[in-house]
Structures are given as structure tokens and as C-alpha cells.
């Protein structure tokens, strides 16, 4: 069943029902992306909820989520389509004794039954409704692949030489995420609406933890979020995001922790910092961090 979105308030309500704690800026960006059918480029630090926007949007709109995970060396065949060569070879061997011409055999094996649709083509050919297409970590893909995306995001169509042009039956809702590993091109940015997500405020992070970990004691939630707020002020190789906050909260719940102590924090640091050097830095500042974590 399709969901109608007619205002920013509708988006806020959808996000709330999906347990996504956003703000007015996030809700407005999502609303405009839906109503204008423009791709939404979401940038920000790792772990602040960029990918979660697409997942939540798909849940809220009762749409299918189609995900393309980007990486260095990603090419068109992996993202768009490729031919099922094993199945084609088998069919060629079956047709060796037939009286079909070479052109007829070629037309047979380069047809729909032998086509393997990858995420971009799946999104364009989605038959029943508009899916949510997540192009995750686009900054990790090569500039050549980024250039290829321009046609897809502008026209919502692609060309397969053997089959012709394929245009989207239902325009997908597109969310691109970037951790700013490299600067994206102006041409790509022009085709997108833009949203920057920063680390959350203390109040917002508390609301996120309450929404995702409702059984965690309120005092412990406040301690965790104050500790994380102070931790992000240190000179770390990688500052932890909300994802690490939730991992830590889950871990503390499994350990039946009710408050932050030096012993508890030291034994669970692997949930929130991810290098030996960062662990040493946290240990050096642990007393001050625990003081900051005390509920006011």
C-alpha cells in the first residue's frame, strides 16, 4: 500500500513511526526528495545515520530497498547488468544441431532470460511501485563510475546494446551517501538535493538511544551520551558515531551494566574506538571522561 506524503509534518510522523530520530532539516530534505523526485545526497561523518535514512524511508513508504554498495573498482557490469555466460554457453551447446542462423542464435542468448539485473537496473525495472535506491558510499567509487551515474540520475534510463533503452516505469527514490573520502564532482551534486548530518547534540543522541534501546535505564543512557559527547572532543584517529553509541549501549545491557565505571568502560572500549592508539588516548583521559559523563 502506497503512502502519501503531503507535508514535512507527514515525513516527521513517518520517521517517528520507524523509530528514526531526525530533525526539521532532515525531514524537509526527505520531503523535497520525495515530492520533487530528486536524488538526495547525504554527507557526514561515519556512523551518524546516513544509510539509515534510506532504510527508514523504504520502511516508511512501504517500498523495496535496493542497495548498491560502492567500492574502488566498481564497474557498470556489477552495478547495472551482466549476461549469464554459463547459461548462454549451455544454450549454445544445446542449439548446435539446430537449423537456426547465427543471428537467430545470437538474438536468443542475448535476451531477457539470460540477463542478470544488478541494483541499478533492478531499480529502473521495478514493476509495482517506486523503490528506494540506496547508492551507499559513492565517494569510494571511481570518478568514471560517478560520471556514468549522471545519465541514470538525470534521465532514469539506461541503454543495453542488445535490448535497447530501458526507462524507469516508476521513478525510484534515490539516496546517495558519502563519507567524503574524496570530493564528489559538481555535476553529480547539481543533480541532487544536499543534506549534511553532523554528530548529534546530547539531547538528540539521548532520544536516539531511547528509541533504539528502549529498555536501557535512563540514567545509563544519559551517562553514555555525555561520555560520547566528551569522547568526540579528543584527538582521535576515528571519532565514534551514533552507530558506536548504540553498539556500546547494547553491550552494556548484555553485561547488565547500570552505570559507567572505569572497569566497565575499559573492558568495553572496543565497542566505540577501533585502534590501539585511540584506546591508549581514551585510557589517558578516562578520569576526565567519566567526570563529564556524570548526570547533571
Q: Give the total residue count for the chain.
A: 296
pLDDT at 9: 92
**Three-state DSSP string of 248-270:** HHHHHHHCCCCCCCHHHHHHCHH
DSSP assignment of 51-93 equals: HHHHHHHHHHTT--EEEEE--TT--HHHHTEEE-HHHHHHHHH
pLDDT at 296: 58
pLDDT at 1: 53
Nearest to 152, CA basis, from 137, 174, 136: 174
- The domain locations on the chain are 8-72+128-197, 202-290
CA angle 235, 237, 242 (to 5 degrees): 90
pLDDT at 74: 92
pLDDT at 295: 64
3-state DSSP assignment of residue 41: strand
Main-chain phi, psi angles of 156, to 5 degrees: 50, 45
pLDDT at 32: 94
Global pTM? 0.86
Residue-wise pLDDT tens digits, 246-272? 999 999 999 988 889 999 999 999 999
CATH for the 8-72+128-197 domain, from 3.40.50.300, 3.40.1440.10, 1.10.357.10, 3.40.50.2300: 3.40.50.300
pLDDT at 2: 60
Rounded CA separation 153/126 (Å): 16
pLDDT at 110: 79
pLDDT at 62: 87
β 173-178/65-69 pair status: unpaired
Main-chain phi, psi angles of 153, to 5 degrees: -80, -20
Rounded CA separation 172/153 (Å): 10
Residue-wise pLDDT tens digits, 52-64? 999 988 988 889 9
CB environment 76-86: b (16+ within 10 A), e (fewer): eebbbbebeee
Residue 227 CB coordination number (10 Å): 22
Give mean pLDDT in consecutive 10-residue pieces for the chain, a chain of 296 residues.
Answer: 79 88 92 92 92 90 93 89 86 78 76 86 87 95 90 85 84 94 92 94 95 92 96 94 95 89 94 95 94 81
3-state DSSP assignment of residue 247: helix
Amino acid at each position: 500500500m502506497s503512502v502519501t506524503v503531503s507535508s514535512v509534518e507527514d515525513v516527521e510522523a513517518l520517521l517517528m513511526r520507524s523509530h528514526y530520530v531526525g530533525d526539521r532539516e532532515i525531514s524537509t530534505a526527505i520531503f523535497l526528495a520525495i515530492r520533487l523526485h530528486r536524488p538526495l545526497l547525504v554527507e557526514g561523518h561515519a556512523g551518524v545515520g546516513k544509510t539509515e535514512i534510506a532504510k527508514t524511508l523504504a520502511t516508511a513508504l512501504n517500498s523495496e530497498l535496493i542497495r548498491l554498495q560502492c567500492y574502488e573498482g566498481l564497474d557498470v557490469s556489477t552495478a547495472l547488468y551482466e549476461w549469464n555466460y554459463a547459461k548462454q554457453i549451455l544454450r549454445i551447446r544445446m542449439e548446435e544441431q539446430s537449423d537456426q542462423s547465427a543471428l537467430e542464435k545470437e538474438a536468443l542468448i542475448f535476451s531477457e532470460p539470460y540477463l542478470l539485473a544488478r541494483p541499478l537496473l533492478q531499480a529502473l525495472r521495478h514493476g509495482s511501485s517506486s523503490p528506494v535506491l540506496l547508492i551507499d558510499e559513492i565517494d569510494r567509487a571511481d570518478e568514471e563510475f560517478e560520471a556514468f551515474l549522471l545519465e541514470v540520475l538525470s534521465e532514469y534510463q539506461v541503454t543495453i546494446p542488445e535490448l535497447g533503452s530501458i526507462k524507469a516505469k516508476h521513478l525510484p527514490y534515490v539516496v546517495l551517501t558519502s563519507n567524503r573520502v574524496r570530493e564528489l564532482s559538481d555535476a553529480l551534486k547539481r543533480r541532487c538535493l544536499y543534506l549534511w548530518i553532523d554528530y548529534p547534540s546530547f539531547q538528540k543522541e539521548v532520544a536516539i538511544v531511547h528509541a533504539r534501546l528502549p529498555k536501557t535505564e535512563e540514567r545509563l543512557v544519559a551517562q553514555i551520551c555525555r561520555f560520547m559527547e566528551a569522547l568526540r572532543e579528543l584527538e582521535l584517529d576515528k571519532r565514534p558515531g551514533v552507530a558506536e553509541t548504540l553498539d556500546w549501549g547494547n553491550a552494556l545491557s548484555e553485561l547488565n551494566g547500570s552505570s559507567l565505571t572505569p572497569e566497565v568502560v575499559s573492558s568495553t572500549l572496543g565497542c566505540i574506538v577501533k585502534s590501539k592508539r585511540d584506546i591508549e588516548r581514551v585510557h589517558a583521559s578516562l578520569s576526565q571522561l567519566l567526570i563529564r559523563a556524570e548526570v547533571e
